[in-house]
Structure 1
Amino acid sequence: MNEPTVLYIIRHGKTMFNTIGRTQGWSDTPLTKQGEEVIHYLGAGLKEIPFKEAYSSDSGRAMQTARIVLQEHNKGSEIPYATDSRIREWCFGSLDGGYDGELWGVVPRILAFKNYDDMMTNRISYKDLADAIVAADSADWAEPYEKIKERVWNGFEDIAHRREKDGGGNVMIVSHGLTISFLLSLIDSSLPMQIGLENGSVTKLIYENGQFTIDTVNDLHYIEDGRRS
């Protein structure tokens, strides 16, 4: 009999760009010393979870986070680990690497809102957001909505489907704030944007017969458990 298939989806640790308020997307910076410390606590809090396998995006900050968590795990050296480019963050094109104020300054204006708060109060869709980023991108690198949707859904669903076919069990996945938030919206379209997912937070999904169920979102208790251990 198969075990339940459970994805523990982690937002990567806090990076240099996160700390100084720059948009990362496909650009990358390493975890700060404080960011590493929090992920060590997270790893300690997850060390007893029997993971069958582990994945991260191919961004350096996600790989660094995954390595720290596995380093802290009781059987980390025995857990198969791979990267998957499909679970990367969104690409913000020419806005990658700029200050957050540039992205969240121009996008509301494109969508005819006064400012970021006005935009979020009106609960824009992820398609609206993606279309506005494409419109703002002067380099023509930003991904259109349908491409983001296809890669993010297929990335996570393929991981879950393979694990279910192989008997189920727990999977650790390190991904990115907007990507995780977007995945949640594909599972439950009634959810508001989860822009505020914390670095090191765990979002847990259960997968059965081709369907995801959301168990927990933005869970920080594993970090606190590790801090106390």
Structure 2
Amino acid sequence: MINIYLVRHGKTMFNTIGRAQGWSDTPLTADGELGVTELGIGFKEKKIKFDRAYSSDSGRTIQTMGFVLKYSDNENIPYKFDKRIREWCFGSFDGGYDGELFDGVLPRIFAEKGKSGKIRSYEEIAEAIYEVDTAGWAETWEELSGRIMTGFHDIAAESEKVAAKNIVIVSHGMTIGTFIKLLRPDLPRAYGLDNGSVTHLTYENGNFTVGEVGDMSYRKLGQNYLKHEK
């Protein structure tokens, strides 16, 4: 059985000013770097040794992984990038303000279709973004959900093949939320996962089991350690 520590990347410039990052990219802020330093220290304090590391190919996840591996004393382990676990692509809205897309454009689309209420499924949101994207970059729900599921499954299967016990994966907020919802449709939508949070999963014989979603205890442990060090 593999223990999977699925991390949302550290806080970035776009996260801070409320922009939809998607496939566009900005670096971690100073606070973001501190947060994932805390996370790495938290892993170290828990004496977690990783066998393998994976992230999307986005700069913010790569930067996050560097801090996590360094401060958890897990450097020099096998590390791979996988573009299938990137964030959603928001098409022509990539880099735009969250409010413009999620509180403006999408509600208008749903209203035009006669759909009331604010809570929408990931599938409805994905299809609405695809519909209004003028650049032709956004993914259909089938493309989006398919690449997320196969990406995480292939990572886990590869790790199982080499008898890994603990792996760390750095991905993105909506991608992680989508993956959890695909695995466990009965769970509430994991909206607003904190930067540097950890979602626990296990994998065995082709099956995932979902544990705690959005766990901040590792960061808090690292934060307490740094306070005492000062």
TM-score, normalized by the shorter chain, greater than 0.5: yes
- Which amino acid in 1 is paired with 2:91? G
Cα deviation 1:26-65 (Å, max 9, x = unaligned): 0000000011001100000012211110011000000000
Q: In structure 2, how many angstroms separate the alpha carbons of the residues matched to 1:178 and 1:118?
A: 20
1:7 positional shift: 1.1
Give the AA of the match of 1:128: E
1:84-132 CA-partner distances (Å, limit 9, x unpaired): 101000000000000011111111221228xxx9312xxx221111100
CA contact (8 A) 2:53 2:169 kept: yes
Cα distance in 2 for partners of 1:190, 1:69 equals: 31
The separation in 2 between residues aligned to 1:194 and 1:110, in whole angstroms, is: 23
Tell me if 1:61 matches 2:60: yes
The structural deviation recorded for 1:146 is 0.5
What's the counterpart of residue 211 of structure 2? 215
Contact kept, 8 Å, 2:203 with 2:209, in 1: the verdict is yes
Quote the residue 1:203 is aligned against: 199
Question: Matched residue of 1:193: which SS?
Answer: coil
Correspondence for 1:15: 12
Q: Contact 2:52 / 2:164 at 8 angstroms: preserved in 1?
A: no
SS in 2 for 1:195: coil
Counterparts of 1:191 and 1:31, CA distance in 2: 30
Q: Which amino acid aligns with 1:158?
A: D
Q: Which residue of 1 aligns with 2:143?
A: 147
Alignment match of 1:80 (pick from 78, 86, 91): 78
Give the length in aligned residue pairs: 220
Question: Which residue in 2 is equivalent to 1:192?
Answer: 188
Counterparts of 1:77 and 1:39, CA distance in 2: 15
Q: Secondary structure at the match of 2:88?
A: coil
Q: What stretches of structure 2 of length at least 5 have no aligned partner?
A: 226-230
- Name the residue aligned to 2:132: 136
Q: Which residue of 1 aligns with 2:23?
A: 26
Identity %: 53
Q: What is the Cα-based RMSD across aligned positions, in Å?
A: 1.5
Partner of 2:96: 98
Output one character per residue of 1:132-165: Cα deviation in whole Å (capped at 9) or x when no partner: 0011211111011111111100111011111122
TM-score (norm 1): 0.92
Letter in 2 for 1:43: G
> What is the CA–CA distance in structure 2 between the aligned matches of 1:135 and 1:86, rounded to whole Å?
22
Cα distance in 2 between the residues matched to 1:77 and 1:190 = 37
SS in 2 for 1:140: coil
Q: CA deviation at 1:190?
A: 1.5
Which 4+ stretches in 1 moved above 6 angstroms?
none
1:78 counterpart letter in structure 2: N
In structure 2, the residue corresponding to 1:78 is in which secondary structure?
A: coil
